[in-house]
Chain A
């Protein structure tokens, strides 16, 4: 091992640590994590600079002095690292006392540092002329150094389980880098105790700098990505330019006597012409290899565009879009405003982590502009006219750098707002192209989801209509009978019809009227009980032990009447006893309600709906199998495949919303069941549902 390896590794550690430390600090001096990292990096670089000066000392006195200085840095490395770790895992408060305690102990060691208690003297060991010898206080220091370092790493490991994927990645690199760094640095200690091992690991200290820098760029550790990126590019550029300059100057000097000026001229020309392309090249290379995640974002956005179109839930569309934009383009803020047609305003959708709700009126200048250009508006293009100033004010109020119109059939249904990029970079042409694509799909997806919500609402209204008709009939008929009976009784009395009658006769008649009224009121209360039970909104999924037959009868008591009116007979074929299932009763009723109503609608003139229920043995055990078949016109094969799709309907326009069966299937799945359909044109349709037998949990 050449001797100059040691001073060289020291200076490498010193420079890299101090650069990284200061970067992190300047990027965000207010962040405790950044500050504590600086203390750590500063301790390491302080130690390394002094290490370098100690290595090049040429007498014992100076070597002892620099030794003491370097140890002043080394003393604080472990406690500062602990400090950084507790900040990184967000456990500042919990470990505050430990951090203060170890800093305090370090100060005690610092006071001892300039006494022989800590470093006794320096003497030659192996290839080193002035290696320090430990005083009695040095061993306790070593215990602290390793103890606290190991303890800090343990804290990182312990926290690892409970942290987000995002934070885990950061911790992984910090852990790896510092573990290697500490191990490498520790190779300095054996020689103190005359163990003949050279401090060969010294250069490994710089590994932590590299891994942490990597974690910063790849995993947004301490949020200083851009600075690192710019520095990296600048450093490489500088090195290359210097290389060219030195290389050519030296070469020309060697080859041509007095060629110094010529070399200077040649290298200057080369540098002038190569700097721009070189920089572009370096940006591309760093983007591709170090910032790969960001480089791939276009791919991510493209696949998102394909996916979002299939989502029918407005919340999910908006939330996932904002989430995705946050991860890929990393704007400081993002929001989606949707047109509220009643208030004629664009209102920010209740997005995640939103502290402010923005609105803009439909008459705002920005809205008018987006409607006419149908293109992304960037704050940079606002211009300085009066018009531009107003636009700029609106954008600033919305904290937006970009306003992206969501156009659906020439209608501005919403506006996507993106703030400045966190990286301070501007949006590139490529970004804007992808955002335009995204906006186009987003608009369709949002439009679909809104339509879906609206039709689901209509579906609910239709169900309420059926219920209302049921109530009207089931409750209205008995009420009419009671009402008429009473009218007749009173009328007869008023007209003196009872005058000539025997008391016994009048009593008999009164008793008949009372009996009828009682019978009819019982009929009313029965049906209202059933109806209210049926109409109860199912807020959440509540599985319980459910008797299929009971739910079937409940449903039939509501829809049965309507079917009878339409001259549709209902045939039951139920195998008893049926096993119970675990399901949400309300949802089971909804499934039957929709299927039976559908069966009824499939029957044009007279017909029969047959409901069979029995036990079937499936792979997963015993199942309850329900078949609902009709004698309707049947569904042809190509349409049969689509009947569970939302919006698909075989009914005449205006007759069905096409959501019934897609909802039915969702409900069946949610209750761990399966649904199948068979049909023959002219021969009717059979829906088969199976639910696994269930026991109370």
Chain B
């Protein structure tokens, strides 16, 4: 079976590296992006199955990343990552096209099972 492709988007580069390494250990194929515009490029190029996107990016919001890539990648599943708990934001994420919201700090094992469930379902 082919490896599941995940794109990790966060403006804190050290965090992107760590998260990617963890996902690689868990058996994923990972692409990294450290900004919104970079993410759009990476998603259109690598066509990941899953996009793990931080909400507050330096150059744009995570929802904008979804809006700008969703059309070209209709099969991609978007997971929004944020540190701020805010119910109204959750609604906005879902409306923008995210299927799930995950709060930082991310627990790799939980993320793993969440991704597996999403891919299966």
On A, residues with C-beta under 8 Å from B are: 469, 472-473, 476-477, 479-481, 483-485, 487-488, 491-492, 495, 497, 516, 564-565, 567
Contact = CB atoms under 8 A, between A and B. Distances in A.
A488 B104 contact: no
Contacts of A516: 14
Contacts of A488: 18, 21-22, 25, 108
B105 A483 contact: yes
For A473, A488, A492, A564, the residue with the greatest tally of chain B CB atoms inside 10 Å of its CB is A488
A485 B18 contact: yes
Contacts, number: 54
B108 A480 contact: no
A481 B21 CA distance: 12
Given A472-B83, A472-B84, A565-B56, A477 B22 contact: no
A488 B21 CA distance: 8
B56 A484 contact: no
For A484, A516, A564, the residue with the greatest tally of chain B CB atoms inside 10 Å of its CB is A484
A477 B12 contact: yes
Contact of A469 (B19, B22, B84): B84
Contacts of A472: 83-84
B107 interface: yes
Contact of B108 (A473, A476, A487, A565): A487
Contact of B105 (A484, A497, A564): A484
Interface of B: 12, 14-15, 18-19, 21-22, 25-26, 56, 58-59, 83-84, 104-109
Contacts of B105: 476, 479-480, 483-484
A73 B37 CA distance: 108
23 contacts: A473-B83, A476-B105, A477-B83, A480-B104, A480-B105, A480-B106, A483-B105, A484-B18, A484-B22, A484-B106, A485-B18, A487-B22, A487-B107, A488-B18, A488-B22, A488-B25, A488-B108, A491-B109, A492-B25, A495-B25, A497-B25, A565-B56, A567-B58
B84 to A, nearest CB: 6
A502 B102 CA distance: 36
B79 to A, nearest CB: 16
A567 B19 CA distance: 26
A475 to B, nearest CB: 10
Given A481-B14, A484-B15, A476 B104 contact: yes
For B18, B25, B58, the residue with the greatest tally of chain A CB atoms inside 10 Å of its CB is B18
**6 shortest A-B CB distances, which residue pairs?**
A483-B105, A484-B18, A476-B83, A480-B105, A488-B22, A480-B104
